């Protein structure tokens, strides 16, 4: 099949600047919402995915699907720490941290309140989180009413700035450090001394034991032994998989709601493209008839109009991508179903999302161009060539 030159389509679009621009802007808006939605869900997922490390394992109560639902006794925590698969620090001490997790209601800078995670940690906790470091200030001192707060939490909540004081569980705590955990969930947490937190928050047990494996391949051996131990009812999970699983339900919800909005908008945009292409085909009846008379097949004409519609929508999609790039700097927070607390995260725009936006726009072009293309291909040549 001989093809109608692409220049014909591109120049036709350029010749109809106003309708082309308006349609492209409509498509751009849809592509923007599409990418925004994926960036929102992707950011949420990434925050939890990067929270865990493949080198670490997390031990929680058997049957618990989150840290909040878990309890680990001090006796069990000691037993876990003594396992041979647990890596050792230079001083020979096991690289593990028995931690406490509670949720606490704090006031946002915007005025409303929400739950945040308050984590009781040990001096080893920071070393176990490879992506976490102190951005400002210092680590809290054991036994002292000092805390460090995650970077995003510090930005979003009242009294959480460095050296500020905040009331938790009836005590006043000084923020002595700001934690930067590379966009992970720890950026939305408050950390303090677990041994001090336990009596203050009235929690006699830990929620988890996080440990560094001496070799990630030893995970199965550790899991088998701990889960088979009749003294405790514990489960062992790879830390990265555990946190990634936490994001599932919320990410799916965000994605579903976002895509629903996108589809509604896409419907409108497809009608816009349809209208533009119908008008374009209608005003080019004589040209299309001439191409058919010259010997171009009806298939070639249909393909040409479909390509034109797709070019138009891909152009819109590319505009949408450009407009979506600044979304990367957006930060938001949402309730995590796993912890019933706010998880702040940065939108994540990936090349795959941008490509998805362009492909989605191309699909809108194909759908919007189909009927006008079919009309063009079915034109009676004798009538078309005589149009004024």
Partner 1 sequence: MTAGGEGKQALILLRDVHKSYYRDKIEIPVLTGVSMTVGAGEFLALMGPSGSGKSTILNLIAGIDTPTRGAIDVAGSSLGTLKPAQLSAWRARNVGFIFQLYNLIPVLTAFQNVELPLLLTKLNGSERKKRVRLALELVGLQDRDHHYPHQLSGGQEQRVAIARAIVGDPTLLVADEPTGDLDAKNAAEVLTLLQRLNREMGKTIVMVTHDPHAAERADAVLHLDKGVLKEQEAARA
Q: Name residues contacting partner 1, limited to 51-90 (CB under 8 A).
A: none
Q: Which of 108, 158, 225, 298 binds partner 1 (CB under 8 A)?
A: 298
Told to check if 128 binds partner 1 by CB under 8 A, we report no
Q: Name residues contacting partner 1, limited to 9-28 (CB under 8 A).
A: 11-12, 14-15
Question: What string marks each residue from 306 to 335 as x (binds partner 1 by CB under 8 A) or -?
Answer: ------------------------------
Told to check if 286 binds partner 1 by CB under 8 A, we report yes
Strand 56-61 vs strand 234-238: parallel, antiparallel, or unpaired? Answer: antiparallel
Sequence-distant (≥ 6) Cβ neighbours of residue 174 within 8 angstroms: 145, 146, 147, 163, 164, 165
Q: Name residues contacting partner 1, limited to 342-381 (CB under 8 A).
A: 381
C-alpha 291/C-alpha 4 separation (Å) is: 8
β-bridge partners, 24 = none
Told to check if 8 binds partner 1 by CB under 8 A, we report yes
Told to check if 388 binds partner 1 by CB under 8 A, we report yes
Is the CA virtual torsion 325, 328, 331, 336 positive or negative? positive
* Among 55-63, 229-237, 273-281, 290-298, the segment contacting partner 1 (CB under 8 A): 290-298
* Among 2-10, 29-37, 120-128, 267-275, the segment contacting partner 1 (CB under 8 A): 2-10
Q: At what angle do helices 6-15 and 298-324 cross, to 10 degrees?
A: 60
Q: Which of 39, 222, 292, 343 binds partner 1 (CB under 8 A)?
A: 292
Q: Which of 2, 18, 105, 228 binds partner 1 (CB under 8 A)?
A: 2
At 165 the three-state DSSP class reads strand
**Where are the alpha helices (H) located in the chain, listed in sequence order?**
6-15, 17-49, 74-81, 125-128, 151-156, 194-200, 219-228, 239-283, 285-294, 298-324, 351-377, 381-384
Told to check if 287 binds partner 1 by CB under 8 A, we report yes
Residues that bind partner 1 (rule: CB under 8 A) add up to a total of: 28
Strand 189-193 vs strand 113-121: parallel, antiparallel, or unpaired? Answer: parallel
Which tokens is 50 given? 């990067």
Residues of this chain that bind partner 1 (CB under 8 A): 2-5, 7-8, 11-12, 14-15, 286-287, 289-299, 381-382, 385-386, 388
């Amino acid at each position: 099949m001989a093809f109608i030159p692409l220049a014909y389509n591109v120049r036709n679009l350029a010749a109809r600047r106003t309708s082309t621009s308006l349609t492209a802007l409509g498509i751009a808006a849809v592509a923007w919402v599409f990418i925004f939605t994926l960036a929102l869900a992707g950011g949420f997922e990434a925050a939890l995915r990067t929270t865990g490390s493949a080198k670490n394992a997390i031990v929680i109560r058997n049957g618990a699907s989150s840290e909040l639902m878990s309890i680990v006794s001090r006796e069990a925590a000691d037993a876990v720490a003594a396992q041979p698969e647990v890596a050792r620090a230079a001083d020979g001490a096991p690289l593990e941290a028995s931690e406490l997790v509670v949720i606490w209601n704090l006031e946002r800078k915007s005025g409303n309140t929400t739950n945040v995670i308050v984590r009781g940690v040990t001096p080893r906790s920071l070393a176990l989180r490879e992506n976490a470091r102190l951005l400002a200030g210092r680590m809290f001192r054991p036994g002292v009413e000092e805390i460090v707060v995650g970077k995003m939490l510090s930005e979003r909540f009242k009294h959480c700035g460095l050296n500020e004081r905040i009331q938790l569980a009836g005590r006043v705590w000084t923020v002595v450090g700001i934690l930067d955990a590379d966009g992970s969930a720890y950026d939305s947490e408050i950390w303090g001394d677990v041994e001090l937190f336990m009596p203050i928050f009235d929690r006699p047990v830990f929620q988890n034991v996080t440990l560094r494996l001496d070799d990630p391949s030893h995970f199965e051996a550790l899991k088998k032994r701990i889960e088979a131990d009749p003294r405790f009812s514990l489960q062992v999970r790879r830390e990265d998989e555990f946190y990634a699983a936490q994001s599932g339900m919320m990410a799916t919800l965000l994605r579903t709601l976002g895509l629903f909005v996108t589809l509604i908008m896409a419907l409108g945009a497809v009608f816009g493209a349809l209208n533009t292409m119908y008008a374009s085909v209608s005003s080019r009846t004589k040209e299309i008839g001439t191409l058919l008379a010259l010997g171009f097949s009806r298939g070639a004409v249909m393909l040409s109009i479909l390509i034109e519609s797709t070019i138009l929508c891909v152009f819109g999609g590319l505009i949408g991508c450009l407009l979506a790039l600044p979304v990367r700097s957006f930060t938001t927070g949402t309730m995590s179903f796993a912890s019933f607390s706010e998880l702040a995260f940065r939108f994540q725009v990936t090349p795959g999302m941008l490509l998805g936006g362009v492909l989605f726009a191309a699909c809108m072009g194909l759908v919007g161009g189909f009927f006008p293309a079919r009309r063009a291909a079915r034109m009676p040549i004798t009538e078309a060539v005589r149009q004024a």
